[in-house]
A = this chain, B = another copy of it.
Amino acid sequence: MTGVKHQKWWGWGVEGIGFDPEGKPAFAPFVKKQIGLDVSKPGIPPKFEDLDVPAPIIDGGLREQLLGIVGERFLLDDDLDRIVHTFGKGVRDLIRIRRGDLRRVVDVVVYPADETQVQAVVDACVEADAVLIPFGGGSNIVGALEPMPTERRTVVSVDLGRMAKVLEIDDESGLARIQAGALGPQIEEQLGRRGWTMGHFPDSFTHSTLGGWIATRSTGMQSDKYGDIADIVKGLRAVRHREVLALRPLPSTSSGPSVREMILGSEGRLGIITEAWVNVHRVPEVREIVGYFFPDFSSGLRAMKEINDSDAHVTVSRVSDANETQFSFATQRAQRGVKKIVMGSMFGYLKRRGWDLDQMCLSYIGFEGGRRYVKRNQAIVKEIVKANGGIVVGTGVGSVYDSKKFQTPYIRDFLLDRGATADVSETATPWANLQNLYDTTTEAARAAFEKARTQGFVMCHFAHSYHSGACLYFTFALPDTDAANTYANYDLVKRAIQQNFMDNAATVSHHHGVGSEHAPWLDQDISVAGTKLHRVLLEGADPGRNFNPGKILHDGKPGVAMHSSDAPLPGGVPGTPEV
Question: Hey, which bits of chain A sit against chain B, CB under 8 A?
Answer: 170-175, 216-219, 228, 230, 234, 238, 240, 243-259, 261-267, 270, 279, 281-282, 305, 309, 311, 313, 369-370, 373, 376, 428-433, 464, 466-471, 505-514, 518, 522, 525-530, 532-534, 536-538, 540-541, 552
Contact = CB atoms under 8 A, between A and B. Distances in A.
A267 B255 CA distance: 11
With a 10 A CB-CB cut-off, give which of A230, A257, A470, A507 has the most chain B CB atoms: A257
A528 B510 CA distance: 31
A246 B529 contact: yes
Nearest to A525: B255
Given A217-B258, A238-B529, A251-B430, 15 more contacts: A172-B430, A172-B431, A245-B530, A245-B533, A247-B526, A247-B527, A251-B428, A251-B464, A251-B467, A251-B468, A253-B508, A255-B509, A256-B267, A259-B534, A537-B540
Contacts of A464: 251-252
A244 B526 CA distance: 11
Contact of A234 (B250, B468, B552): B468
A199 to B, nearest CB: 10
Given A172-B432, A527-B244, A536-B537, A256 B266 contact: yes
Nearest to A254: B217
B174 A534 contact: no
18 contacts: A172-B305, A230-B258, A234-B468, A244-B529, A245-B527, A247-B527, A248-B525, A251-B428, A251-B467, A254-B265, A254-B513, A255-B507, A255-B508, A258-B264, A259-B534, A270-B533, A281-B467, A311-B370
Contact of A170 (B173, B430, B530, B532): B430
Given A256-B534, A257-B262, A373-B311, A529 B250 contact: no
A513 B533 CA distance: 21
Contact of A258 (B252, B261, B518): B261
Contacts of A255: 265, 507-509, 514, 518, 522, 525-526
Contacts of A311: 369-370, 373
B265 A262 contact: no
Of the candidates A170, A219, A256, the one having the most CB atoms from chain B within 10 angstroms of its own CB is A256
A282 B254 contact: no
Nearest to A538: B257
With a 10 A CB-CB cut-off, give which of A253, A470, A513 has the most chain B CB atoms.
Answer: A253
A468 B266 CA distance: 24
A244 B512 CA distance: 27
A110 B536 CA distance: 29
Contact of A528 (B243, B251, B511): B243
Contacts of A309: 174, 282
A282 B262 CA distance: 33
Contact of A429 (B238, B250, B514, B536): B250
Nearest to A469: B251
Contact of A245 (B219, B246, B529): B529
A248 B253 CA distance: 24
A238 B530 CA distance: 10
With most chain B CB atoms within 10 A of its CB, the pick from A265, A505, A513 is A265
A248 B466 CA distance: 16
Q: Sort A-B residue pairs by CB-CB distance and give the 9 closest, nearest first.
A: A251-B469, A261-B261, A251-B466, A217-B254, A173-B430, A172-B432, A536-B540, A245-B529, A253-B507
A430 B173 CA distance: 6
A251 B470 contact: yes
Contact of A526 (B230, B259, B267, B527): B259
A261 B257 contact: yes
A254 B510 contact: yes
Given A245-B529, A541-B536, A469 B261 contact: no
Nearest to A376: B376
A352 B512 CA distance: 62
Nearest to A535: B540
Contacts of A373: 311
Nearest to A250: B507
Contacts of A430: 170, 172-173, 175, 249-251
B527 A253 contact: no
Given A264-B257, A432-B170, A471 B505 contact: no
Nearest to A369: B311
A431 to B, nearest CB: 4
Contacts of A428: 250-253
Nearest to A522: B255
Nearest to A175: B468
A257 B541 contact: no
B173 A468 contact: yes
B467 A253 contact: no
A572 to B, nearest CB: 21
Nearest to A377: B311
A17 B465 CA distance: 45
A470 B281 CA distance: 16
